[in-house]
Amino acid sequence: MLLPTSLSRFIAHHRWVGLWLIGPLLLGADDDYLREIENEAQRQAATLIIGPAAPELVPAATTDRLASGLNQPAFEDALREKLSGTYAFYQHLTPANRQKVYALYQKDNRLTAISEQIIRLSSGKP
């Protein structure tokens, strides 16, 4: 930004006057800026301390498995509830492949094992 000629000449000739007028403002600006940052950090820290409590962690053993001992319709309902995307693949399996998935579930009720079996059968792999 170019200053008007008379103002730029005045500033060039009398630099100390500009510093005398603007200096206190510049020095105070840093303090105000830092004070504002400190205040914001304190507000954030208070929010972190008094914020909502973290949800209790559920043991992985209960979340990565389907309930054991389900009959096939109940197994399918549980699969649809826990893994809706995988259930969409399951629906496209032949009845014989659905039975294979159910048989696997009876031996191993882990969601990862069931998902892998469904994907493997969906892709045509045994």
pTM: 0.51
User: Residues 17-31: pLDDT tens digits?
Assistant: 555 555 555 555 566
Domain limits of the chain? 5-50, 60-122
CA distance 81 to 62: 15
Mean of all residue pLDDT scores within the chain: 76
CA distance 126 to 122: 9
Q: How many residues does the chain have?
A: 126
